[in-house]
A and B are shown apart, each in its own frame.
Chain A
């Protein structure tokens, strides 16, 4: 059981890291970025590509992948979000345009085999691969009867540190204040001289970089990299996480991530893997109906 809790904490950190980026965009832009899971997938795919296909060491590959994912965030902003804002389109339109981008991202990887247009990025089409063994050193620690793998420990530390840094920036710096100002009232923020568009673009960059990082950590730890890991593993679970935590709340997303990790592991232990798969959505559905503001009480943000 204790071993399961360790697993819950570890998978929870990946959920949390993914969901923090998700919720950040919702909080600041009032937009549900459904391309986030595709960026998650690309984070893993790009790292894998650099390591396995182009022979790069893991660490620089990971840095490049995270940066590229950040750039993809800018692509989302400029292609799918900004034109709609200019037109004062309803927020639902952004939901649909990001779905469009997600379809494109996934299909590009899914169709890539050697010799095709994107053969340089991916060789395995719809199949699942994993990092070559020894990509990162993976010592195993035994603490009081628990087995803790080095990579998983590294993942836990990386995500916790990053989330703390993000939390600090949002809470205590001038940029963070500007971010919260834009989230609350973009008109008032513009009147204070804040360049709202630039805040939006930075938000997308940071959010997507975090999403990509979560993806590559997931690929590293679960040894499962395919065009579908975003869609199948985290897209809707990420939604469940940010709904649990209250949409737009960063601490809520972190807590929600660990909570979902725990719920899933408990469901798995008690009822088996079939129930584990459904439990996130049952939770999502229930929370939305009973407590749409989230479990931790952040206010419901949607305007009338």
Chain B
């Protein structure tokens, strides 16, 4: 309760006290958006933690060895994640359903255990110290990026591209009969998801002094998945709400902080059984999507000229 009282009565104090939490909420929200993009196109891919790792390591390694400015390093990290996403997507996106999920899990673990732990430049098991970390400054790009990315992805779902994703999610066969190039649009979603995850990984290194390889395992991907499932994936608000809710839950209910995974597990099961569309879904918090966001009720002119 104190959490909310402080939030509403003393927002500045709240901000100062919970800066790290807010930063983490921001990063988790971006990660949730990244998994949302692939979900929205009907694919259960669980590679996000791997792309995060690529973004994070690239940024830190560049900071360590190159004189390039930090924003550039982060950008390169995100783009490199996208490039790897494209290369991984080529073979993997032919799989579907549970096989796709397993293959992407395999990618995450093969990357972490096979590459990161074996290449000296990544510090192997020890991880890397990040000299340029700035926990207080790092929160700024996070809070600035989140609304921009959320807006862009939301707009994206309204475009021709987004409609194609919807069609593929609903029925791949029908989508191709409407002339939608299914493999291409799946790949676009996968790469965008990879870039966003890589970017979130890069942002995260900025608030941590340390890059720890154990952070980028399958547990992290499952956490991201939980945000999306609990929040709902009918529109981009869902995963963000899920990330905000689940990240701040241990802070809100202090007594259960130790049992946060028990609570998360119960929430996950309850949602998937009783509310498969998530918190923000048709009939749920969907009402916070105002009416004017859908546009075809708007034109008040005779539709049938003929």
Contact = CB atoms under 8 A, between A and B. Distances in A.
Interaction A to B: yes
Interface of A: 32, 79-80, 83-84, 87, 89, 91-93, 95-97, 99-104, 106-108, 110-111, 231, 235-236, 239-240, 243, 247, 274-275, 277-282, 284-285, 288-289, 292, 302
B281 interface: no
Contacts of B125: 274
Given A92-B101, A101-B265, A288-B106, A84 B273 contact: yes
Nearest to B90: A289
User: Main secondary structure on chain A at its contact with chain B?
Assistant: helix
Interface string B90-126: 0110011111011101110110111101100000110
Contacts of A247: 99
B103 A83 contact: no
A84 B272 contact: yes
B225 interface: yes
Contact of B268 (A84, A91, A100, A235): A100
Contacts, number: 135
8 closest residue pairs by CB, A with B: A278-B114, A107-B261, A103-B265, A100-B268, A278-B113, A104-B265, A281-B110, A285-B106
Contacts of A282: 106, 110, 114
A104 B44 CA distance: 22
Interface residues of B, number: 44
Interface string B19-49: 0000000000000000000000000100000
B282 to A, nearest CB: 16
Nearest to B104: A285
Given A80-B269, A83-B273, A281-B109, A96 B91 contact: no
A103 B113 contact: no
A170 to B, nearest CB: 22
Contacts of B92: 288-289
Given A281-B113, A302-B96, A92 B44 contact: yes
A302 to B, nearest CB: 6
Given A95-B44, A239-B102, 15 more contacts: A84-B272, A84-B273, A92-B97, A99-B225, A100-B268, A103-B268, A111-B259, A274-B124, A281-B110, A282-B110, A284-B102, A288-B92, A288-B103, A289-B103, A302-B96
Contacts of A110: 261
Interface string B57-91: 00000000000000000000000000000000001
Contacts of B11: none
Nearest to B114: A278
Contacts of A100: 264-269, 272
A251 to B, nearest CB: 20
Interface string B262-306: 101111110011001000000000000000000000000000000
Contacts of A102: 265
B272 A288 contact: no
Interface string B235-278: 00000000000000000000000111110111111001100100
Contacts of B222: 99, 103
B218 interface: yes
B273 A108 contact: no
Contacts of B112: 278
B219 interface: yes
Contacts of B102: 32, 239, 243, 284, 288
B105 A236 contact: yes
Nearest to B113: A278
Contacts of A92: 44, 97-98, 101
B258, B260, B266, B268: residue with the most chain A Cβ atoms closer than 10 Å: B268
B195 interface: no
Contacts of B218: 235-236
A103 B106 contact: no
A278 B103 CA distance: 14
Contacts of A284: 102-103, 105-106, 110
B117 A278 contact: yes
B113 A107 contact: no
Given A84-B273, A92-B98, A302-B98, A278 B262 contact: no
A280 B219 CA distance: 17
B229 interface: yes
**A83, A240, A281 pick with most chain B CB within 10 angstroms:** A281
A268 to B, nearest CB: 13
Contacts of A243: 102, 106
A93 B272 contact: yes
Given A231-B219, A279-B114, A108 B99 contact: no
Nearest to B222: A99
